[in-house]
């Protein structure tokens, strides 16, 4: 019998695909992020200081008083009409082109959207194209469908369109998965020219693009280039959005934007998964989008908050690592990506935890060809004093291991 068994339980056999989904890196890092005595530069989570608690409390009370029969009841699989309408209105204004409510599927976080896309399009052995490195949880989600990855290396402007064209000509893949704006894990943002070239190549070759955009609103000063989905003739793009970074992750509200026929298919798949996303969470997010004064004030607060933290981290990294490592200089998002020549991040991580700090080793973010000299750092949740202390400790460890 083929499959995977637990070490302490030989009676039950898991499907073979479970073995490809067993990387514990995210789970372990999130545990460390809340462990007393550990300064965590690892968990890619929003800072809870930014949660609009009073707005949430007042709005939930009002929704239950005025509309309990809807917000506490089962709802339509594609999402509450009021939320789909608000998302469509928001995107129409942002993208400067019409987005209809029928093009929106509300999901239980954008992580569910990744799983929906995998379930809809991937058969065993199919190939998909990803940036290298890419979002770890996307790799895990797609591994659940026993897929194979082809990679595109990143540079400071994004990917090389010529390499994309070459990979398209030499390989048959179901779709390409990209995070063009403030990428997780690198913080890199594609240039506008790269974005336009990618759309042209995808259209010419009839290839599907999955654009994941959880961080696009988290710019520190200047807004990034338009999303792939916002560009002219972006008919080959399925867009994934979320309110986890701009509102609250615990509400678990994301969304997917695509052609209406695709939305109909994906809604059938979602119905078999969870019937619908939480009605109360959806209604709360709809109220958040309706109240643009509160929404825009919250966005401004978030951008200023993370921008200040990012600048502090960049200054401290320059002081500590200028001749020892290289790193990205993000203009938004939550992360920087550090390369430390001749250092194995797995060994560095073990020593760091002993010293009371944690980060994300870089190797799990590679779908293929991992680079063990890389790590991901986040500035989102740590105060300046702790950040300074943690980076100082990291410097000493790197010197010791060099």
pLDDT, average across residues 50-69:
97
180 vs 37, residue with greater confidence: 180
Q: How many residues does the chain have?
A: 402
Domain 17-50+303-401 has CATH 3.40.50.10490: no
222 vs 35, residue with greater confidence: 222
The band of 18, judged by pLDDT with boundaries at 50, 70 and 90, is confident
Torsional class of 158: left (φ above 0), alpha (ψ -120 to 50), beta (otherwise): left
Domain ranges of the chain: 17-50+303-401, 53-294
The band of 43, judged by pLDDT with boundaries at 50, 70 and 90, is confident
CA distances from 245 to 22, 91, 164, 200, 252 (A): 26, 17, 30, 30, 11
Which range (24-33, 94-103, 208-217, 229-238) has the least confidence?
Answer: 24-33
Please tell me the predicted confidence (pLDDT) of residue 169. Answer: 84
The H or E element containing residue 10 is: strand 9-14
Please tell me the predicted confidence (pLDDT) of residue 20. Answer: 67
Residues 6+ apart with CB under 8 A from 354: none
Does position 286 have pLDDT exceeding 60, yes or no?
yes
CA distance 53 to 174: 42
Phi, psi of 110 (to 5 degrees): -75, -15
103 vs 22, residue with greater confidence: 103
- pLDDT tens for 218-253 read 999 999 999 999 999 999 999 999 999 999 999 999
Please tell me the predicted confidence (pLDDT) of residue 3. Answer: 62
Count CA atoms within 13 Å of residue 272 on its CB side.
8
- pLDDT tens for 296-335 read 999 999 999 999 999 999 999 999 999 899 999 999 999 9
CA distance 333 to 379: 10
CA dihedral for 58, 333, 300, 41, sign (positive or negative): positive
pLDDT, average across residues 57-82:
97
The band of 34, judged by pLDDT with boundaries at 50, 70 and 90, is low
The listed range with the strongest mean pLDDT (12-26, 32-46, 341-355) is: 341-355
The CB density around residue 55, as the number of other CB atoms within 10 Å, is 17
pLDDT, average across residues 148-155:
95
Residues 6+ apart with CB under 8 A from 317: 325, 327, 336, 338, 391
CA distance 402 to 324: 9
The band of 24, judged by pLDDT with boundaries at 50, 70 and 90, is low
The band of 172, judged by pLDDT with boundaries at 50, 70 and 90, is confident
Please tell me the predicted confidence (pLDDT) of residue 402. Answer: 87
Does position 341 have pLDDT exceeding 70, yes or no?
yes
CA distances from 193 to 86, 158, 208, 300 (A): 30, 10, 19, 27
- Mean pLDDT score of the chain, rounded to an integer? 94
Does position 30 have pLDDT exceeding 70, yes or no?
no
Q: Specify the pTM.
A: 0.94
**Fold category of 53-294 in CATH:** 3.40.640
CA distance 102 to 85: 9
What would the DSSP string read from start to end of 256-300? EE--HHHHHHHHHHHHHHHSSS-HHHHHHHHHHHH-HHHHHHHHH
């Amino acid at each position: 019998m083929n499959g995977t068994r637990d070490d302490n339980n030989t009676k039950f056999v898991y499907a073979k695909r479970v073995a490809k989904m067993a990387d514990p890196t995210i789970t372990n890092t999130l545990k460390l992020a809340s462990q007393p005595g550990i300064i965590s530069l690892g968990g890619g989570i929003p800072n809870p200081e930014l949660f609009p608690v009073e707005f949430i409390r007042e709005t939930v009370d009002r929704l239950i008083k005025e509309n309990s029969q809807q917000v506490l009841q089962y709802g339509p699989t594609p999402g509450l009409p009021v939320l789909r309408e608000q998302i469509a209105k928001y995107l129409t204004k942002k993208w400067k082109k019409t987005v209809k409510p029928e093009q929106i599927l509300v999901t239980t976080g954008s992580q569910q959207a990744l799983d929906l896309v995998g379930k809809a399009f991937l058969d065993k052995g199919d190939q998909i194209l990803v940036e290298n490195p890419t979002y770890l949880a996307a790799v895990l989600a797609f591994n659940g469908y026993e897929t194979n990855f082809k990679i595109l290396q990143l540079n400071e402007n994004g990917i090389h369109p010529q390499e994309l064209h070459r990979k398209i000509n030499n390989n048959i893949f179901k779709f390409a998965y990209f995070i063009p704006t403030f990428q997780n894990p690198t913080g890199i943002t594609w240039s506008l020219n790269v974005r336009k070239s990618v759309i042209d190549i995808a259209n010419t070759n009839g290839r599907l693009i999955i654009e994941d955009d959880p961080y696009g609103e988290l710019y520190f000063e200047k807004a990034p280039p338009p999303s792939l989905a916002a560009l002219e003739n972006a008919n080959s793009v399925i867009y994934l959005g979320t309110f986890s970074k701009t509102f609250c992750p615990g509400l678990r509200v994301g969304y997917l934007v695509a052609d209406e026929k695709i939305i109909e298919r994906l809604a059938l798949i979602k119905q078999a998964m969870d019937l619908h996303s939480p009605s109360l969470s959806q209604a709360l997010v709809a109220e958040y989008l309706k109240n643009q004064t509160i929404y825009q004030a919250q966005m401004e607060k978030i951008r200023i908050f993370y921008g200040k933290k990012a600048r502090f981290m960049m200054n401290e990294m320059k002081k500590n690592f200028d001749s020892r490592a290289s790193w990205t200089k993000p203009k938004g998002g939550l992360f920087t990506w550090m390369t430390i020549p001749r250092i194995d991040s797995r060994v560095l991580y073990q020593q760091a935890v002993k010293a009371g700090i944690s980060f994300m080793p870089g190797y799990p973010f590679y779908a293929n060809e991992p680079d063990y000299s890389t790590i991901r750092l986040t500035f989102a949740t740590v105060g300046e004093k702790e950040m300074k202390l943690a980076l100082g400790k990291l410097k000493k460890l790197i010197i010791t291991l060099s």
